[in-house]
């Protein structure tokens, strides 16, 4: 095992890569065989230097009612209690009429770092002159996007002033329509950078998508009468009071807030992972939304009213139905059929509902039996089944 330099490694077949690693002492033959058994050859066309795959089980959240429609939502997760808790919360919510969701106004941003000796006013003047032709060029470069009504909505310039003299950033705001839009945004930003360098004196130093949330976030709301929260040992209002207290805790104590939001991401990331979506982008965008006021805040909150417990989730859902790898995976289409999703807005709504209900499932457990009894019971059951 001399070093990790493998020129041309990407040009090998996966089995050849494993053979090289074994010959060089990185792996024993038995270990290489274990990796080979988990290898889906089709995945070599998805990523780089592929030698194996990590499979996650896809479980279904049942009982879910979104805007009056019955849906099933897949969660890719190794944690059985996540699926179980969300399904339990969905059953309770369904008895109360289900979850109401409103899709967001999806916008994706891209930035171009630009260095110039022009004043900010001169840059703005040049931008105003350049922008109409640029929008037409984007429409020609992305005809399907233009035909669907998407494209560049606006471009702004922010000088760094004393922080970085002579430089600033352009922010492109793009309507991606049914795409998640990250690659699209970067492509358009690079096109902008090339064109601007010809239109204005100066130089572009880099162009890239931003995962900072733009546009309007999605929301999901549920109203649960007290009696539906009752357990064998506690009346429903008492359960609701405890859930409200736990929600307030998450709004006060950032150490608790982070874990509160992580539980919401258990549902959101699980649903997006099942569809082969970019879960890192989704997480980054939601984290930024949670911190938009200068400190991390809960993505979902719960409030007790005289007759019910009201829960509300708010956050951007970075997702798409075109582009990326998801549409080309054989499991994506049937899973979307189970979700009864026909457009990206419906996908947003379903995922937002799962985030809210996952939070309810966790808070219900904390407020009553505690997290670990159900968690441990599911793991022990799975352990017995595997013996």
Angle between helices 236-252 and 254-274 (to 10 degrees): 100
Known active-site residue 136: no
Q: Which of 79, 190, 287, 303 is catalytic?
A: 79
- b/e 154-166 (16+ beta carbons within 10 angstroms → b): ebeeebeeeeeee
Above 70 in pLDDT, residue 155?
Answer: yes
Please report, rounded to a whole number, the percentage of residues in the chain having pLDDT higher than 90: 82
Q: How far is CA 331 from CA 74, 76, 353, in A?
A: 11, 12, 22
CA count, 13 A, side-chain hemisphere, 108: 27
Is 193 an active-site residue? no
Spot the catalytic one: 10, 136, 262, 328: 262
Position 197 scores a pLDDT of 83
For the stretch 305-348, pLDDT in tens is: 999 999 999 999 999 998 888 887 889 999 999 999 999 999 99
Q: How confident is the model at residue 257 (pLDDT cuts 50, 70, 90)?
A: very high
Mean pLDDT over 31-39 rounds to: 93
Are the CB atoms for 214 and 181 separated by under 8 Å? no
| Catalytic residue from among 193, 278, 346, 348 | 278
10 Å Cβ neighbour count for 228? 17
Question: What mean pLDDT comes out for the span 263-291?
Answer: 97
Residues 6+ apart with CB under 8 A from 122: none
For 108, list phi and psi in degrees, rounded to 5: -120, 140
375 part of the active site: yes
How confident is the model at residue 380, as a pLDDT? 57
Element spanning 141, H or E: helix 120-141
Which CATH number fits the domain 105-215, given the four candidates 3.30.70.420, 3.20.20.150, 3.30.930.10, 3.30.450.20?
Answer: 3.30.70.420
Q: Please check whether the two domains, 58-103+217-386 and 105-215, share a CATH topology.
A: no
* Mean pLDDT value across residues 205-215: 95
The predicted model gives 137-163 an average pLDDT of 91
Residue-level pLDDT at 323: 83
Q: pLDDT tens for residues 75-133? A: 999 999 999 999 999 999 999 999 999 999 999 999 999 999 888 899 999 999 999 99
Domain borders along the chain are 58-103+217-386, 105-215
Mean pLDDT of 223-227: 97
Task: Give the residue among 337, 366, 106, 347 at the shortest CA–CA distance from 231.
Answer: 366
Q: What is the pLDDT of residues 156-191, one digit of tens each?
A: 999 887 666 678 999 999 999 999 999 999 999 999
Q: Which of 135, 375, 377, 379 is catalytic?
A: 375
197-224 average pLDDT score: 94
Fold of the domain spanning 58-103+217-386: 3.90.770
Asked if pLDDT for residue 375 goes beyond 60, the answer is: no
**What average pLDDT does the segment 358-376 reach?**
83
**228-232, 328-332, 373-377: which is most confident:** 228-232
Q: Edge-to-edge strands of the sheet including 300-304?
A: 100-102, 218-225, 308-315, 300-304
Task: Say how many C-beta atoms besides its own lie within 10 A of residue 316's C-beta.
Answer: 25
pLDDT digits (tens, 9 = 90+) for 50-66: 999 988 999 999 999 99
pLDDT for 76 equals 97
Catalytic: 79? yes
Residue-level pLDDT at 233: 85
pLDDT of 298 higher than 70: yes
The reported pLDDT for the residue numbered 261 is: 98
What pLDDT sits at residue 1? Answer: 46
């Amino acid at each position: 095992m001399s070093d990790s330099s493998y020129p041309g490694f990407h040009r090998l077949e996966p089995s050849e890569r494993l053979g090289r690693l074994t010959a060089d002492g990185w792996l024993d033959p038995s270990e290489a065989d274990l990796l080979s058994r988990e290898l889906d050859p089709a995945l070599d066309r998805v990523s780089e230097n592929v030698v194996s795959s990590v499979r996650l089980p896809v479980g279904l959240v049942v009982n879910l009612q979104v805007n009056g429609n019955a849906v099933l939502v897949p969660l890719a997760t190794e944690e059985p209690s996540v699926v179980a808790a969300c399904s339990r919360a969905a059953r309770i919510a369904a008895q109360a009429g289900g979850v109401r969701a409103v899709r967001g106004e999806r916008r994706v941003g891209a930035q171009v770092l630009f260095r110039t000796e022009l004043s900010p006013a001169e840059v703005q003047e040049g931008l105003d002159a350049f922008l109409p032709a640029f929008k037409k060029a984007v429409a020609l470069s992305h005809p399907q996007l233009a035909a669907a009504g998407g494209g560049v909505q606006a471009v702004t310039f922010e000088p760094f002033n004393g922080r970085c003299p002579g430089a600033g950033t352009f922010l492109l705001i793009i309507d991606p329509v049914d795409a998640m839009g990250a690659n699209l945004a970067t492509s358009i930003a690079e096109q902008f950078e090339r064109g601007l360098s010809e239109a204005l004196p100066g130089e572009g130093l880099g162009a890239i998508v931003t995962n900072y949330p733009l546009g309007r976030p999605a929301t999901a709301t549920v109203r649960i009468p007290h009696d539906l929260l009752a357990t064998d040992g506690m009346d429903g209002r008492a359960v609701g009071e405890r859930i409200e207290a736990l929600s307030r805790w998450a709004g006060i104590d950032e150490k608790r807030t982070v874990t509160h939001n992580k539980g919401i991401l258990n549902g959101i990331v699980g649903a997006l992972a099942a569809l082969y979506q970019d879960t890192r982008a989704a997480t980054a965008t939601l984290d930024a939304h949670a911190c938009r006021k200068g400190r991390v805040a809960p993505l979902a909150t719960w409030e007790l009213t005289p007759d019910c417990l009201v829960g509300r989730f708010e956050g951007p859902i970075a997702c798409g139905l075109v582009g990326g790898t998801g549409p080309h995976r054989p499991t994506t289409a049937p899973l979307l059929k189970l979700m009864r999703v026909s457009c990206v807005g419906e996908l947003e709504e379903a995922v937002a509902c799962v985030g809210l209900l996952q939070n309810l499932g966790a808070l219900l457990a904390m407020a009553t039996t505690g997290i670990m009894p159900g968690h441990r019971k599911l793991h022990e059951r799975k352990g017995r089944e595997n013996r």
